[in-house]
Structure 1
Amino acid sequence: MFSPYKMVKVGQVNVAFVGAVLEDTPTVVTPSGIAGLEFRDEAASINAVMPEIMAQKPDAVIALIHQGGTAQAKYDELDCSTLQGPVVDVVRALDKNVSAVMTGHTHQGYSCRVDGRVVVQGEAQGHLLQRLDLTIDLDRRAVTAVEGRNVFVDPAGPKDARMTEIVARADELTKPVASRVVATLGAEQITRKANAAGESALGDVIADSQLAATRAPEFGGAVIAFMNPGGIRADLPGTPNPAMTVTYGEVFTVQPFGNLLTVMTLTGAQIKTLLEQQLFEDTASGPRRILQVSEGFAYTWDQSRPTGDKVVKMSLNGQPIDPAAAYRVTVNSFLADGGDNFTVLREGKDRLGGALDIDAFQNYLKAAPVKPGPQNRITRLN
């Protein structure tokens, strides 16, 4: 049976590490991949195993939680008091024997205290290393002090020889495929940076590629495509290329998940619901989430309006979207299962599976030199 904790001997002391996955996991992964699993409150889950952990007489307990927050403090500021977000309530509810909490999910760098307890996060992609310094009284077997900090990881520093060998071997095996030029763009770079309305040039291109792959009747007869911004992992290419060529590795870096395209029928009313399920602004639990849309579809949202009623206009090829009419819509398989909390997509009917998203993207880029467009499909008011 899998254990949610592990006892580690560090010098003369025993440290228990206990982990908890994100309670909101069903909203950020493909739902079909976690069918039958239950995700519970992080604090309650950790507290439930604390009696078992404490029975082994650990000298300290550290919680590892895939939940996080945001802080106004810089990553190297110690003991900040500005932490906000869901993790704050989680920490406050944890058993008093948990000495410190290492967090994630929000990709922030901070070292804060919540009700006196250290809470740290090391940003993302190995940029920072979370470090905890614990002072333990060996006579009383008790933690007397905890200090949390983030250590900057210098990529120019010495590298582990064994890991370097593994990376070199992987690079050797994949380089022939990754370095293959697959297309020439009409610009040195197309970026995923979103404008004030939430639209990006690369998001437009990807949505267009998915529509192009599913527009034909035999491939679904789609008229609209939506792309989740979280699935766009990099600019294309990562740095501007004067030659304007892109390789398969660069295309894969943009879309690495291998999702299948799915065409379904939605009513105009369901499309409106879909757009209302977006996160229009950053929150403590994560960044805003604006779907990227294909050419021909346009909509306007008003920030001053209440949640659930922000979208004020939708059109397809200049004609208003009819709430009662049926439209063939393309999304990737992650979204089709209700990923990113776009639950209305589970109601889509007459589904038809299609190509891999990366294949549709690659084929679209090959067809003609693509360049950044005007980014005028999404309009924001107020």
Structure 2
Amino acid sequence: MILLRRLPLFALPFLAACAAQPGVESAANAPRTVTVGIAAINDFHGNLEPPRQSVLTPDGKGGLRQIPAGGAAYLASALDAVRGQYANRLTVAAGDLIGGTPITSALFVDEPAIGALSRAGLDFAAVGNHEFDVGIEELRRKQTGGCSKYTKREPCQVEKFDGARFGYLAANVFLPDGKTLFPATALRQFGKGRDRVTVGLIGMTLEDTGALIPPDVAAKVRFADEADTANALVDGLKRQGADAVVLLIHEGGRTTGNPDPNGCEGLNSAIRPILDRLDPRIDVVVSGHTHWSYVCDYAKYNAAKPFLLTSAGVWGGLVTDITLDIDPRAGRVVAKKAKNVIVQSEAYVSPQKPIPVDPALPAFAPRADVKAYVDRYVEAARAFSQRKVGWLAAPLAKSDGETQNTGGPLGKLIADAQLAATRAAGAQISFMNPFGVRRSLTPAADGSVTFGDIYAVQPFNNDLYTLTYTGAELKAILEQGFDASGPEQILTPSAGFVFEYDRARPLGDRIVAMSLDGKLIDPASSYRVTVSSFLANGGDTFTGFAKGRDKTRGAVDIDALEAWLAARPPRAGPTDAREIDRNPALNTVRSTTPPGVRYR
């Protein structure tokens, strides 16, 4: 494992949010402590270049500010800044560093994502569900290096791949022989003599990973319960001298109210029942998966579980700055706090408006060595990425904020493309899940869009499947978008299919009308429906799709979108009403997310 270097300190945005362990001794009687700083990230998803997305943060006036953030070179500088405050420092991640990545990383089998984070000084990372997207053998290659080919893409196209300089941890990922895929734990020591302290790390993914990855990959490994696995490892870490225990877990939560990177209002989702079962000797839980940012003193939710819980959102837009004060004689953490630091990078123009750099917050400069490394891959991908593939009449925004659970015009465009691509299989309807739309789609001044543009919108390379369902089954599937098994997500249908819903009605009976080409859907009749392979396997809690019959495999989703946009005159964003809210007064995004949610 590489040694951490003392790095230059940049100015930091100090956002007031921290969680301190109850019962800390007074300053007069405080023990001699050793401070360890931890810089944490999650869900980087190979965003080498600034993702042209914002971090939302309170503006102090009851509203929100949009802060342009992200990009590997800017992230490296932010990590330097956080680490530069501490003599003893560690850099960790909570999974999904790769997979679902923009074309600049995906074209090269995510080698540059691994390379950029290695250069940025990452020490340890938990595996996430997307680490498994292209198989066990390829994931091992990501760790150890080499140019063996395990995917459709050629490895080592730009340079020999040396593998990650950081260590993957996979405590709950078991092979048929009973061994873990990667080590379950790691230890890092700081200081000398009586002032030596040891931080123990446990890394894992969510137990439900098998439902989120290709079935042939899932068949090769077993994903164990998160809390049971972590609890079984704490004693061993303590016996090895761990004064602090940090859990890196690719599972997470959501909060309610306005977005606040350092807030913890109404914490919910699948992380909560895990936390309630964890050994209280775990000091910090670094989480991910839900693409949500928060800093939580979990003792406010469960006094018996005084964890410091953190998440740095998504795409390298934030770094969590965690401070642990450890008493080496008592062998325990006596104080802990954290704050999320916005990786403010460069201005951009969104489909709605320009997003400038906010002068009220410090901006980071791109770190030169990481920028040069990223630029090399950007240039290598240029011909492939910048190939014009079609035309768009006007920008189409990814739905966000209170409309994030709807597909909007961009989701409708994708659904229409999928239907057109699978008509030969008898498709009559297509659905797009809004959470699968990753970016806005903005054409150039001449109306053209590139392959890189559309790949950023749909980076999963999902196959399209056309299946048969009865009208009653279609209603049950649409109801799952409103049920208690996940965040509300209103499926986006293709043109011609219209459904109406009413949140005032009981769960399971909120779909009040469905029609196709003006004719009411017959509960007993059969319909041919196209969805991505992810939905066809029950992803995003739409388990009803997995019950489809007469499955026909079609084009890859990105190919369908490219073919649809190739038409002239340029495609316009659909504006027809396909999902009709009969009770708009209740139109609020339900962020409460019980266990079992399958995020992308």
Distance 1:84 1:329, change over 3 A: closer
Question: Structure 1: how far apart are the matches of 2:287 and 2:202?
Answer: 12
Alignment partner for residue 99 of structure 1, among 267, 270, 283? 283
SS of the residue 2:489 aligns to: coil
Match of 1:75 in 2: 261
1:370 matched to 2:571: yes
Match of 2:320 in 1: 130
Alignment partner for residue 189 of structure 2, among 9, 13, 27? 9
Question: Structure 2: how far apart are the matches of 1:196 and 1:56?
Answer: 46
| Equivalences for residues 174-213 of structure 1 within 5 A | 174-187=381-394, 189-193=395-399, 198-213=406-421
Question: Structure 1: how far apart are the matches of 2:529 and 2:318?
Answer: 41
Question: Structure 1: how far apart are the matches of 2:502 and 2:221?
Answer: 37
Mind listing any 5+ residue stretches in structure 1 that lack a counterpart? none
Distance 1:122 1:200, change over 3 A: same
Deviates more, 1:113-122 or 1:351-360: 113-122
- Are the aligned partners of 1:134 and 1:147 in contact in 2 as well (CA < 8 Å)? yes
Alignment partner for residue 55 of structure 1, among 226, 230, 239? 239
Question: Structure 1: how far apart are the matches of 2:489 and 2:220?
Answer: 27
Question: Structure 2: how far apart are the matches of 1:139 and 1:149?
Answer: 27
| Equivalences for residues 162-181 of structure 1 within 5 A | 162-181=369-388
| Equivalences for residues 1-382 of structure 1 within 5 A | 1=179, 2-11=182-191, 12-26=196-210, 28-31=212-215, 33-35=217-219, 37-71=221-255, 72=257, 74-76=260-262, 82-115=266-299, 116-155=306-345, 156-187=363-394, 189-193=395-399, 198-216=406-424, 220-237=425-442, 241-279=444-482, 287-368=487-568, 369-382=570-583
1:140 maps to amino acid: A
Distance 1:10 1:152, change over 3 A: farther
Cα deviation, residue 45, structure 1: 2.1
Cα deviation, residue 204, structure 1: 0.8
Deviates more, 1:108-117 or 1:296-305: 108-117
Question: Structure 2: how far apart are the matches of 1:63 and 1:208?
Answer: 43
- Are the aligned partners of 1:82 and 1:112 in contact in 2 as well (CA < 8 Å)? no
Cα deviation, residue 93, structure 1: 2.1
SS of the residue 1:175 aligns to: helix
SS of the residue 1:125 aligns to: coil
Cα deviation code 1:73-98 (max 9, x no counterpart): 83246xx5753333233223211211
Distance 1:83 1:332, change over 3 A: closer
Give the TM-score, by structure 2 length. 0.58
1:380 maps to amino acid: D
Question: Structure 2: how far apart are the matches of 1:35 and 1:380?
Answer: 41
Cα deviation code 1:197-234 (max 9, x no counterpart): 93410111111111111113xxx011111111122111
Give the TM-score, by structure 1 length. 0.89
Distance 1:141 1:337, change over 3 A: same
**How many residues were matched structurally?**
371
Cα deviation, residue 24, structure 1: 3.7
Cα deviation, residue 41, structure 1: 3.7
1:224 maps to amino acid: I
SS of the residue 1:193 aligns to: coil
SS of the residue 2:290 aligns to: coil
Question: Structure 1: how far apart are the matches of 2:419 and 2:307?
Answer: 50
Cα deviation code 1:272-311 (max 9, x no counterpart): 121112147xx8x964322111111111111111221111
- Are the aligned partners of 1:315 and 1:321 in contact in 2 as well (CA < 8 Å)? yes
Cα deviation, residue 30, structure 1: 4.8
Cα deviation, residue 252, structure 1: 0.8
Percent of paired sites with the same residue: 39
Cα deviation, residue 319, structure 1: 0.8
Cα deviation code 1:324-373 (max 9, x no counterpart): 11111111111112222222222211111111111111011102321122
Higher strand proportion = 1
